[in-house]
Chains A and B, each alone.
Chain A
């Protein structure tokens, strides 16, 4: 266990509030929680890559940060149209 894995554990726990808001909040609050959870997951993937010394995890973070952006835009557009 090194400091990077401790940081990753803390970040994964920080996903809890986002999950709670997705379940208990309104759709617009869920969208904010979803976008924040994407940022947290990106950071967690970076830290896990460093903690495990596994370079492919950084590639996961690269792909995920782009998908989080595209997904956030898509859901925001859907909410505008009241779907």
Chain B
């Protein structure tokens, strides 16, 4: 009984984040705007993995679930960066600041 509540909270939170991310990629119109929602979806997967870890404790399934969750978050970060670059190269020919783009450079 004591573990059921945290497991339920983690599971609901994780699934909610993932569902909201799926909704967001339909609702957002711009590709880079959509790309941002890969992050919350990965965090949702981590929450689901932690829910399994709480349910099963540090067993074979719990350890593997945690490893999957952590890898999902880290690989999501790399995929975000690589995909953002690929989107700009595909659409503009280069990922850097284009001549017709008004991007102010902030100084430190």
Contacts and interface: CB of A to CB of B under 8 A. Distances in A.
- A and B touch in their complex, CB below 8 angstroms: yes
Interface of A: 3-4, 7, 10-11, 14-18, 20-21, 26-29, 31-33, 35-36, 39-40, 42-43, 46-47, 49-50, 55, 58-59, 61-62, 65-66, 68-69, 72-73, 76-77, 79-80, 82
The B interface is mostly helix, strand or loop, or mixed, namely helix
A65 B61 contact: no
A79 B45 CA distance: 27
B68 A36 contact: no
Contacts, number: 145
Contact of A72 (B11, B48, B83, B85): B83
Contact of A28 (B44, B56, B60, B91): B91
A73 to B, nearest CB: 6
B9 to A, nearest CB: 12
Chain B, interface residues (CB within 8 Å), range: 35 or more
Nearest to A66: B71
B61 A49 contact: yes
Q: Which 3 A-B pairs have the closest CB atoms?
A: A76-B86, A69-B75, A14-B22
> Which of A32, A66, A77 gathers the greatest number of chain B CB atoms within 10 Å?
A32
